[in-house]
Amino acid sequence: MDNLKYEILVYWSNEDKCFVAEMPELPGCIADGETYEKAIENIKQVAKIWIEVAKEEGREIPEPKGKLYYA
């Protein structure tokens, strides 16, 4: 599922001693990894599962919005 078009936020967590990746448009879609690259790889896997479960449960899957702006 490398064609995901959702924004991915990646940051270092001092508390967890790992990189954390989030897809803000998919609520609760969060993964971590020992490296930046591993966090990206893991979030793609989590997003695939998130979308599969949403489909099974009949939940709406948000359309990717592209770059999100925060105030």
In-domain check, residue 65: no
**Number of folded domains that form the chain:** 1
How many DSSP H helices and E strands does the chain contain? 1, 3
Structural domain including 41 reads 9-56
Tell me, yes or no, whether 51 lies in a domain.
Answer: yes
Domain membership of residue 18 (yes or no) is yes
Tens of pLDDT, residue by residue over 7-58, are 999 999 999 999 999 999 999 999 999 999 999 999 999 999 999 999 999 9
Q: Which residue has the higher pLDDT, 68 or 27?
A: 27
Q: Higher confidence at residue 12 or residue 3?
A: 12
22 domain residue, yes or no: yes
Sign of CA dihedral 34, 42, 31, 40: positive
Task: Please report whether residue 44 resides in a domain.
Answer: yes
